[in-house]
Amino acid sequence: MELDPVETLRQLVAIPSVNPMGGAGKDTPFLETRLTEHLEQLFRRLGLRVERQPVAGNRENLIARLDGSIPPEDGGRVVLFDAHQDTVPAEGMTIAPFTPEVREGRLYGRGSCDTKGGMAAMLTAVARLAELRPSNRPTVLVCCTVDEEYGFSGARALTELWTGRQSGIVPRRPDVAVIAEPTDLDVVVAHKGVVRWKCHTAGRACHSAQPEAGENAIYRMARALVAVERYAREVVAGTRSHPLCGAATLSVGTIHGGTSVNTVPDRCTIEIDRRLPPGEAPEDARRELIEYLRRATEPTFSVQHDPPSMQGPALSDEFNGPLAEELAQVVRMVTGGCRKAGVAYATNAALYSVAGVPSVVFGPGRLDQAHTKDEWLPLDQLHQAAEIYYRFAS
């Protein structure tokens, strides 16, 4: 059974699989459930073995297996293809997010670039492998993971299938992993890690006609923010860097405080995004800022810190050199050129690498097109990616 990559991508984009990004996720377009159903039906039509892996609530990883020429139990190679099912929210888009449209060599719609384009290319390649059955093919695991955009919980759960829990479909630890993300058809060998968490200052509410009777939590947070900005400028920018990924960064992305203009606020909250290059641990980066703020604000007041809402390690290029060159050679045969690159964003690849699987990131589209108000994917890269995934896995 052959698949057309453009039609496959149309079908994927038309099924909303929006990550609620920490919200309740009860609305119809939210979560990956409908997409998981669609993918399972597709894999069964291709004749592949399929297994669902519960992750949280009704969110499930979907794993399909195409057996190789030599069974893994007899030493055959196992290749993991990963593409996440979820997308970022669609609010504020200037196009119909779930009505895919093809024009001028592009397919428009939420998730077309990040990362349903890569998923469609992988599905097309695996369908071709299942149809043609080349003689030296490895066993291929196609893993459609959940919750990549907010928490990496799907990737974490997947690693348990070869580090502890038993699975009827994952025979052992994969030999290599290729993770679909928009890389402009370059092979990404290193990327930054991330840790995000919320911080709070507490005050004492009172009527704004008598502000001296209360303690303004926003004023306290303002003083804390001065320290955060100084820390980002003087400390974080001077920490370790990576030749491909660049230096560590820190950003405050949200601030919320108060209930009404005539009430002195008793609580203010900010959310911090800390990016770290290979070699820096998320827990260390978070602990260092917490200690810095403690010294900068106490005993006048204290800043309270929530546990991380998202935490993922960096992908190091120390362990994936042979895999990167193998894939890059295939890319060059198809496109004529390929860079081995580093990027600032985080992916599932780092989780698999930490769990002992050499991993790289590769797929159609550019980061500039992901998460945008008119997200799109160039169809020439979609076709090329499908060919590259096929050749690599055959």
Give tens-digit pLDDT for 225-283.
Answer: 999 999 999 999 888 899 999 999 999 999 999 999 999 999 999 999 999 999 999 99
The residue assigned the tokens 């190091």 is: 316
Q: Which overall architecture, per CATH, does domain 193-312 show?
A: 2-Layer Sandwich (3.30)
Question: How would residue 24 be classed by pLDDT, with cut points 50, 70 and 90?
Answer: low
Report pLDDT digits (tens) over 158-213: 999 999 877 889 999 999 999 999 999 999 999 999 999 999 999 999 999 999 99
| Amino acid in position 160 | E
**Does pLDDT of 64 surpass 90?**
yes
Mean predicted confidence (pLDDT) in 342-368: 97
- pLDDT given for residue 26 in this prediction: 52
**Does pLDDT of 25 surpass 60?**
no
**Does pLDDT of 27 surpass 60?**
no
Q: Say if residues 228 and 250 touch (Cβ distance below 8 Å).
A: yes
Q: What is the pTM of this model?
A: 0.93
- pLDDT given for residue 227 in this prediction: 97
Q: Say if residues 117 and 365 touch (Cβ distance below 8 Å).
A: yes
How do the domains of the chain map onto residue ranges? 5-191+314-393, 193-312
Mean predicted confidence (pLDDT) in 48-60: 95
Give helix then strand counts, H and E, for the chain: 9, 20
Q: Say if residues 46 and 130 touch (Cβ distance below 8 Å).
A: yes
Q: What span, in angstroms and rounded, lies between the C-alpha atoms of 34 and 16?
A: 8
- List all residues 6 or more positions away from 219 whose beta carbon is below 8 Å from its beta carbon: 203
Q: What span, in angstroms and rounded, lies between the C-alpha atoms of 116 and 98?
A: 12
Q: What span, in angstroms and rounded, lies between the C-alpha atoms of 260 and 119?
A: 46
Domain 5-191+314-393 fold is Aminopeptidase (3.40.630)
| Vertex 80: Cα angle to 77 and 84 (nearest 5) | 175
The residue assigned the tokens 């911080």 is: 199
- Strand ranges inside 9-168, DSSP E: 49-56, 59-66, 78-84, 101-103, 106-108, 139-145
Alpha helices in the chain (DSSP H): 5-13, 33-45, 117-132, 153-163, 217-234, 282-297, 321-335, 349-354, 379-393
Residue 365 or residue 56, greater confidence: 365
Count Cβ atoms within 10 A of the Cβ of residue 202 and give its class: 0-12 exposed, 13-18 middle, 19 or more buried: middle
The residue assigned the tokens 């060599």 is: 105
The residue assigned the tokens 């006048």 is: 300
Average pLDDT score, the chain: 95
Cis peptide upstream of residue 115 (ω within 30 degrees of 0): yes
327, β-bridge pairs = none
Q: Say if residues 103 and 367 touch (Cβ distance below 8 Å).
A: no
